[in-house]
Amino acid sequence: MARHVQFDEIGGPEVLTVREVELRAPGPGEARIRVDAIGLNRAEVMFRSGGYFLRPTFPSGLGAEAAGVVEELGPDVTGFAPGDRVGVVPAFPQNLYGTYGDHVIVPAHALVPAPAGLDPVAGAAVWMAYLTAYGALAENSPVLPGDHVLITAASSSVGLAAIQTVRHLGAVPIATTRGEAKRKALLAAGAEHVIVTDREDLPARVAAITGGRGVRLAFDPVAGPGVNTLARAVAPGGQLVVYGRLDPRPTPLPNADEYPALSTRTYTLFEVTSDPERLRRGVAFVTAGLRSGSLAPVVDRTFDLADIAEAHRYMEANSHVGKIVVTVPHQVVPGDR
């Protein structure tokens, strides 16, 4: 038997329960892994609460990111072997697969080798955040040395990964946060400038920082009407990239008569993880950054799998800086590597 987190209805964290389920063998194109740690993501909170673009099929599991060890491979799966330490990247719909459990089945195309030198907790904090940042900032919209990049909601795991990625590319990260409480943490994380939006005029501050030019790219997970303010901070010919929908209100297209000419686009991590060649490049980029030390995952807090509901409550409180990770205890098996 395996332990999986499941829920039977849309709702708050209290709908999550840990249940025993039958442990099955992986089918074609699948792998079974022993999960050591799980990276929590906002998409899972939205999936559980009914705000995600996919609807759960009950009883539903959830989760898209993990670190663990390959236990068994399905027919025709190559490139990995039982005992290999791996990461699971978000590359599948949560209504078909999930990582919230101690032994789970995932598509083999979602596996990547575990980065050398990282323990499972750090390993579970890598792939969603850094591949999201890589795809937008290096793959789709190359940021050039000396450019200014605006990163909103910057205390999230993706925000911190974006700060580090921008610095890795030789550009200047400008972070935003709603309140003063996270300013020091963002500066310590590598932001060159921090704008506290509750009390500062964002376009005016960006203009002062950039000498009136504006930023080459704004990277935003919030969406909603606030994109109009962001557009006023983008340099002529720059880009506004929206990669989330934390604000459920409609997102307008910035008025071309009022703002400088700019490109606007939506972006999702699946642009990278669903394309084998893009994923290969992304893994190489992130692995090189981890090896050099320019990329380093930030873990805010860990929870035990039995406390998964509390972990979701903590994420919803929005007080964290960096990644929330759930650890999965196991009995040590002699010879496991």
pLDDT in tens, 76-96: 999 999 999 999 999 999 999
252-261: per-residue pLDDT in tens?
A: 988 656 767 8
What mean pLDDT is reported for the chain?
95
- The answer to whether the beta carbons of residues 148 and 174 sit under 8 Å apart is yes
The pTM (predicted TM-score) of the whole model is: 0.94
| Domains of the chain, earliest start first | 2-126+297-327 (3.90.180.10), 128-270 (3.40.50.720)
- The answer to whether the beta carbons of residues 102 and 110 sit under 8 Å apart is no
203-234: per-residue pLDDT in tens?
A: 999 999 999 999 999 999 999 999 999 999 99
Residues 6+ apart with CB under 8 A from 115: 87, 123, 126, 286, 287, 290, 291
Say whether pLDDT at 335 is over 60: no
DSSP-assigned states of every residue in 86-147: EEE-S-S-TTT----BSEEEEEGGGEEEPPTT--HHHHTTTHHHHHHHHIIIIIISPPPTT-
pLDDT at position 142, please? 77
Give the count of beta carbons closer than 10 Å to the beta carbon of residue 264.
17
